[in-house]
């Protein structure tokens, strides 16, 4: 179904088209200079020494798990309120994801629950900066240090976010970014692993390219690797987008504020915080939550009616532990993580992208408020 107002849309300028075309004309389409430039530019922006570009955020998560040497018998603490890729990356290496519940206000992982979940098998905490809001990294790093655990930061939704004056992704042992078309910047498909550890960076770099050694051992495959390379065209696009990242982040914050202003008076709608002290949100999406008056069926009705009117809308997120595969593999049942489940039944994401117009934002908000009022009357009438 094609939406008049889409859920997301990439922001591509003519200069970026030309820079991609220059790469196509060069004849160097893979493992070329743009790859190196993009890796250096993004790692410098984040404040770490090494960046390794890969073909998706999921690939980056997988290689991060491998770079930390995780495997069978190792437990990785993470959140069930997320896109499924981080948990899957743990399973790729036959380690065990250990879910803990989220904080109701921030929707990020709850540090107190992390502490309670640590066992003798725990090796790593996989933090997700949900919807671009930085997780409480000072508390998480303190827990990690006290238990001698490594920390992976899934910053795929959070490029440019800051926690404690530092860019997220560069605080833990390894960070991952993603550049899918709905992200703050895009390379089409693509991702980046960042770290200060040269050995981990070298291993990720080798494994993204079939486990090859570095020249002169180019035709020697030192260990099992993968084809996770990011093409030169994508790197050229990423470089150009990165040059205007700050203006993109400011525009996206403006969109969030516009939504906030128009929806603030609705008593049955919980809005995300706009200001979070000295930390910085990098607005990936604008997610609202229906009040406890409503249930999942009400939310789904509203989503369906918005879509019928040509307005992109979706539920974010379906809890990972209740996905069919995870229920079958681990035996999870509803009630295992009540906060995540409660939130997941009531959240919906509104159209959010750099070039959305004020008129489109107004239409989305007006339609949403009308539908909430209709549903509220239906609920109250029984």
Is 263 in contact with 270 (CB distance < 8 Å)? no
Secondary structure class of 167 (helix, strand, coil): strand
* Interstrand relation of 162-163 and 269-270 (parallel, antiparallel or unpaired): unpaired
- Using the 3D structure, point to which of 224, 243, 262 is the last residue of a domain: 243
Instruction: Specify the number of domains making up the chain.
Output: 2
Residue 220 pLDDT > 90, yes or no?
no
Domain that holds residue 121: 14-243
Q: Which helix (H) or strand (E) holds 307?
A: helix 296-308
| 183 tagged catalytic | yes
Tell me, yes or no, whether 238 lies in a domain: yes
* Interstrand relation of 347-350 and 286-290 (parallel, antiparallel or unpaired): antiparallel
Tell me, yes or no, whether 4 lies in a domain: no
Give the pLDDT of residue 216: 62
Q: What is the CATH number of the domain that holds 346?
A: 3.90.1150.10
Residue 82 pLDDT > 70, yes or no?
yes
Same-domain pairing of 195 and 262:
no
Same-domain pairing of 71 and 148:
yes
Give the pLDDT of residue 382: 72
Same-domain pairing of 189 and 178:
yes
Same-domain pairing of 175 and 98:
yes
pLDDT confidence band for 219 (50 / 70 / 90): confident
Give the pLDDT of residue 92: 98
pLDDT over 70 for what percent of the chain?
Answer: 99
Same-domain pairing of 104 and 222:
yes
- Using the 3D structure, point to which of 190, 222, 243 is the last residue of a domain: 243
168-177, 205-214, 291-300: which range is least confident on average? Answer: 205-214
Work out the burial of residue 301: count CB atoms within 10 Å of its CB; fewer than 13 is exposed, 13-18 middle, 19 or more buried: middle
Candidates 113, 121, 167, 183; catalytic one: 183
Same-domain pairing of 206 and 352:
no
Same-domain pairing of 58 and 205:
yes
Residue 217 pLDDT > 70, yes or no?
no
Q: What is the CATH number of the domain that holds 170?
A: 3.40.640.10
Give the pLDDT of residue 2: 82
pLDDT confidence band for 189 (50 / 70 / 90): very high
Same-domain pairing of 234 and 334:
no
Tell me, yes or no, whether 272 lies in a domain: yes
């Amino acid at each position: 179904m094609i939406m008049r107002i889409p859920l997301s849309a990439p922001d591509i300028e003519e200069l970026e088209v030309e820079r991609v075309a220059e790469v196509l004309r060069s004849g160097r389409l893979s493992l070329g200079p743009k790859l190196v430039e993009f890796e250096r530019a993004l790692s410098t922006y984040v404040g770490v020494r090494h960046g390794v570009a890969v073909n998706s955020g999921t690939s980056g998560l997988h290689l991060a798990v491998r770079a930390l040497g995780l495997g069978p018998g190792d437990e990785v603490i993470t959140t069930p309120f997320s896109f499924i890729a981080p948990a899957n990356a743990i399973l790729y290496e036959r380690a065990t994801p250990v879910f803990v519940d989220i904080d109701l206000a921030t929707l990020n992982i709850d540090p107190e629950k992390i502490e309670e979940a640590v066992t003798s098998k725990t090796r790593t905490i996989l933090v997700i900066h949900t919807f671009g809001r930085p997780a409480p990294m000072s508390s998480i790093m303190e827990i990690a240090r006290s238990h001698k655990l490594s920390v992976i930061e899934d910053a795929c939704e959070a490029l440019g976010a800051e926690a404690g004056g530092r860019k997220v992704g560069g605080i833990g042992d390894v960070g991952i970014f993603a550049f899918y078309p709905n992200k703050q910047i895009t390379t089409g498909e693509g991702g980046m692993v960042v770290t200060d550890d040269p050995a981990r960076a070298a291993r990720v770099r080798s494994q993204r390219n079939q486990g090859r050694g570095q020249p002169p051992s180019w035709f020697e495959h030192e260990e099992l690797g993968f084809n996770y390379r990011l093409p030169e065209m994508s790197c050229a696009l990423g470089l150009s987008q990165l040059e205007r990242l700050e203006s993109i982040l400011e525009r996206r914050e403006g969109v969030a504020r516009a939504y906030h202003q128009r929806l603030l008076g609705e008593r049955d709608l919980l809005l995300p915080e706009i200001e979070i002290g000295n930390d910085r949100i990098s607005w990936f999406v604008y997610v609202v939550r229906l009040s406890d008056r409503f249930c999942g069926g009400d939310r789904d009705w509203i989503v369906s009616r918005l879509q019928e009117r040509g307005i992109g809308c979706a539920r974010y997120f379906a809890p990972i532990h209740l996905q069919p595969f995870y229920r079958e593999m681990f035996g999870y049942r509803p009630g295992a993580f009540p906060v995540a489940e409660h939130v997941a039944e009531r959240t919906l994401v509104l159209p959010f992208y750099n070039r959305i117009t004020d008129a489109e934002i107004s239409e989305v908000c007006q339609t949403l408020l009308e539908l909430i009022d209709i549903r509220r009357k239906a609920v109250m009438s029984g």
